[in-house]
Structure 1
Amino acid sequence: MKLRFTTFLFILFLFTGPSLLVNTAAAQNLRIKDYNNNGWYMYFGDHKLSDKWGVHTELQVRRFNVLKDPQQLLIRTGINYNMTPDAMFTLGYGFIETHPYGDYPAASTFPEQRIYQQLQLKGSLGRIGLTHRYRLEQRWVKPAGADDYTYLNRARYFLKATLPLAGSSLEAKEPYLAAYDEVFVGFGENVKQNVFDQNRLYFALGFKFSDAASAEVGYLNQIVQKANGVVFEHNHTLQLGLTYNLDFR
């Protein structure tokens, strides 16, 4: 998949636009910054059942103060449909449990349930491997102390680049560098203040053990606008991720 000039400009905006958006908003309103140090420990797997169909599995244990205190538990699964070798559609479900953390915590632990639709595209730009991910989420969040769930809509765009360190392409038993940016935008009548929901910028060192397995250790800079539109979290996050894809064909 070759990258055209317009796509390049969009990628440039992706990496610079969120910070401009946040800075513009900050100039208009009083903002409170909440700085946190977190650790996210993650497993991902896309398991093929046939040439076209497969299953997605995912578990993320997120900790506040890097490891000491609970922050969030995320369990996500889905059904994959491989349209081409480089294009995959997923329909899935996620359960998230969020704990109080930071200087402006929630009143108590609260749950969230999601349904999501996702299109993932793979390509390259020279030696750099690219992954685009477009995701729509329908979210049911039960805030601390509330009797009922609140329904929210959110769109996400994710762009990841990988650079092999041992050759012109990434092969098994080789290291690589990785970087991604993901923008979250809320929409719908219940979004209120945080149309800009969050942005995640990530850099990592990875190792590809085999065609099925890889691991990454990296740093995530996460900016989150809380629902009140006033508090902005600036989360410095250690990420440890394992990907292991099983083939049941």
Structure 2
Amino acid sequence: MKKLTLLTIILFSLNNFAQQSIAPDPTKELGAWYMYKGSHQISDKFSLKSMVQFRFFEIGDDMQQFIVRLGGNYKFSKTISAAVGYVFLNTDRTFNVDAGDFNEHRIYEDLNVKHKIATVSFTHRLRGEQRFFESTTGNFLRYQIALSQPINEKWSAYLYDETFLDFEGESYNQNWLGAGFKYKVSTTLKLQAGYQLINVNEIGNFNRILLGVAISTNHRK
């Protein structure tokens, strides 16, 4: 009887240790990004851009990343503009494990080109990013193509794809593919809901629900 009890305790302990040793898989969870985007027109050519995002591993739990982006945008023509700005990120690199987080600072530069084919609006964005985190520097080159199709005066549908190239290690870093809808509440306020598939090199795919609000203000008057 004692041997049977001892064997049971050992087997239970080994099973419990094995379960604790298996790391949870974030690629199997449906996460969410809650987003704010601001555009503040200062003059005919110049506007300020702002963004805040709360990114969660799960829809309402375990925040993965907090991001603040501030920048200035200069409009060269009706179709071409450029921007430069600063980004602060606080990232938890682990899912469902309390292993600490780290801060990151970035400088970014954008070149934006817009055009239309029939009723479909196209936007091309080429972005360079310089990353500073944990005594390390890195560089991203990102290209995004986005399509927007109005449905009526209030609703529109959008689709985009963005590829990240890394100057350190493997060239391909990740890809974001997303789609959704936007609702125009007023000339100042728009709401957004969509879905995004994130493919990260050598890690896997992440599924994210996108919920956002966009505010546009005009300070020229």
Report if TM-score (shorter chain) is over 0.5: yes
Partner of 1:102: 95
In structure 2, the partner of 1:88 is 81
Match of 2:158 in 1: 178
Q: Secondary structure at the match of 1:211?
A: coil
Q: Which residue of 1 aligns with 2:213?
A: 242
Name whichever structure is richer in strand by fraction: 2
8 A Cα contact 1:36 1:102, kept in partner: no
2:139 pairs with 1:139 = no
User: Which residues in structure 2 correspond to 1:31-70 (within 5 Å)?
Assistant: 34-70=27-63
CA distance, structure 2, for counterparts of residue 35 and residue 198 of structure 1? 18
Is the CA contact (8 Å cut-off) linking 1:43 and 1:243 kept in structure 2? yes
Distance apart, 1:196 and its partner CA: 1.1
Shift of 1:33: 9.2
Q: Tell me the secondary structure at the aligned position of residue 245 of structure 1.
A: strand
CA contact (8 A) 2:85 2:108 kept: yes
Match of 1:115 in 2: 107
Percent same amino acid among aligned pairs? 31
* Counterparts of 2:40 and 2:61, CA distance in 1: 32
Contact 1:35 1:102 in 2 (8 A): no
**AA matched with 2:91:** T
Of the three residues 146, 156, 161, the one matched with 2:147 is 161
- Output one character per residue of 1:5-50: Cα deviation in whole Å (capped at 9) or x when no partner: xxxxxxxxxxxxxxxxxxxxxxxxxxx9943321001111121111
Instruction: Give the counterpart of 1:130 among 107, 122, 128.
Output: 122
In structure 2, runs of 5+ residues without a counterpart are 1-24
| Matched letter for residue 75 of structure 1 | V
> Normalised by the size of structure 2, how large is the TM-score?
0.83
Q: Which runs of 5+ in 1 are unaligned?
A: 1-31, 143-148, 226-230
1:217 lines up with 2:188 in the alignment = no
RMSD of aligned residue pairs (Cα, Å): 1.9
Which segments of structure 1 move beyond 4 Å, counting only runs of 4 or more?
none
